[in-house]
Amino acid sequence: MTAQTPAGGPLPPMTDGPHDPEHDPRASYALEPEYVAALTRRIVASSGRTAEVFSPLNGQPIAHVPQSTPADVAEAFARARRAQESWARTPLAERAAMLLRLHDLVLDRQEEILDLIVWESGKARKHAFDEPGHIALTARYYGRTAEQHLGTRRVPGIVPALTRVETHHVPKGVVGIISPWNYPFTMALCDGLPALLAGNAVVAKPDAQTMLSALFGAQLLEEAGLPADLWQVVAGPGPELGPALVDGADYVCFTGSTATGRIIAQQCAERLIGCSLELGGKNPILVLRDADIEKAAEGAVRGSFSNAGQLCVSMERMYVADQVYDRFVDRFVARTEAMSLGASLGWGVDMGSLISQQQLDAVTAHVDDAVAKGARVRTGGRARPDLGPYFYEPTILEGVTPEMTCFGHETFGPVIALYRFHEESEAVARANDGEYGLNAAIYSQDGNRARALARRIKCGTVNINEAFSATFGSIAAPMGGMRQSGMGRRQGAEGVLRFTETQSVGTQRLIRIAPMLGMSGELYAKVMTANLRLLKKLGRP
């Protein structure tokens, strides 16, 4: 792997010019304090405490983030509820127009967005670009399909022409969103956009390590015309603020670990409110005997090592047909070893850093455990402190067995295990092993056969000749997990209707649906029976 420390030269600071470290404390910060303060003042926080955040690129401090209390969470919900009352009465077309303005703002301001994402997460800039791209797609899709999903609908009434029935989608109220650090801009916004379109307000708790990207998203919403107070942000540890957020919300969105997702689901169940949870995964790739080897190897690199493997839908296990195994592995290893690693805001890096020491320790432990128990490292397998504090090489393992931690547990890092298979039914069965079911990929030149296999895989999304973008980037397609990978769906119609209560309004004209004019109950039943038979013959639903 080609090391770049950083690629293309020194990291460009987001400052107006150099500062003297002997006289100006800003010299040690990656971002200008005034810039950071303009973002963090959006946080509802009264504790007087702050949490210092450092960049995984090089350990530079980025910000002191004000910390909220449970009382601040309650205050955020109170503000959001007041704002939501008038927002719910705002015409749907106006709400949709706000999303379309956001679409343009995100594309216009993408360089600033990318800088923030890279500073906070350490990911390669080309992987950071997925985030404003995904938000632009999401905003445009829901902005263009607002009436299709949320408009009032006429449905057949019980008595043709005399019973009028309409269905409405009523906003739930205030949606609580707990978003993760791995995609800090898109995960902070993508659930909230359809929630806003449906007439709700939002109280968001982004992850502590990547607050600024989420706060910049809130700023862009305001610039797009979102009313003040409709999008509230709180900051602090999940165990401290999470219960208060669930207690205040009318619906909860959570992206994170399965263990935390279970806790949130239990809390929501006690309150009889809904939730959508995107949780862990141990995602498989199947490379069939007729796969295009170059295409599969290129896709495997992106699927395994995008954002240093810190992607919920990234791949951690690969099943390769025996007929092509050796040729495929040679190309996969060669492509992996050709990747450039480095800490940079520029475009010349193929893979960036892990987010934290905790992630580095977890990845190192998984690989070391596997090697100690007999796994073979085809490439990678080492931390790279010469590049930055949390870098780890993209790693390909063979010979991983069930007693190894990485066999069934999510690594959430740049590590993938390879396995041979002989029969496709065996590959499907092994792909379905375990408790997760988030994403899968199949590489084959026979689309019909691959799609048939996809229906047998217990994952919420399956991509053919692509790792994850074919489904994740198609906003009309619902996205979410099966089994222990979660519940509910983002994107598509399900992604917006989850934030509404469906209300039916029926208007009856001329006759009542009950005996009348002295009719006995028995006669009424006979008349109704005759009408039911007639309506079936006429093809009525």
Q: Which residues are annotated as catalytic?
A: 278, 312
Rounded-to-integer distance, Cα 349 and Cα 150, Å: 42
Task: Look at residue 523 and give its three-state secondary structure.
Answer: helix
Q: What are phi and psi of 402, to 5 degrees?
A: -60, -25
Give the side-chain half-sphere CA count within 13 A for 167: 14
Instruction: Tell me the CA distances in angstroms from 425 to 288, 320, 432, 451, 464, one per residue in order.
Output: 11, 13, 11, 14, 17
Q: 454, 503, 465, 497: which is closest to 478 by C-alpha?
A: 497
Within 10 angstroms of residue 25's Cβ, the number of other Cβ atoms is 10
Pairing between β-strand 415-421 and β-strand 274-278 as defined by DSSP bridges? unpaired
Rounded-to-integer distance, Cα 252 and Cα 274, Å: 7
Tokens of 259: 């263990």
CA angle centred on 254, ends 345 and 481, rounded to 5°? 95
Residues 174, 175, 180, 183, CA torsion sign: negative
Task: Look at residue 91 and give its three-state secondary structure.
Answer: coil
Please answer whether residues 172 and 194 qualify as being in contact, where contact means their C-beta atoms are separated by less than 8 angstroms: no
Say if residue 206 is preceded by a cis peptide, omega within 30 of 0.
no
Please answer whether residues 60 and 28 qualify as being in contact, where contact means their C-beta atoms are separated by less than 8 angstroms: yes
Tokens of 107: 């594309």
Please answer whether residues 361 and 411 qualify as being in contact, where contact means their C-beta atoms are separated by less than 8 angstroms: no
Helix axes 130-144, 92-108, angle to 10 degrees: 160
Rounded-to-integer distance, Cα 283 and Cα 498, Å: 26
Q: Given phi > 0 = left and psi -120 to 50 = alpha, else beta, which region is 7?
A: beta
Residue 230, class by beta-carbon neighbours within 10 Å (0-12 exposed, 13-18 middle, 19+ buried)?
Answer: buried
Pairing between β-strand 486-487 and β-strand 461-464 as defined by DSSP bridges? unpaired
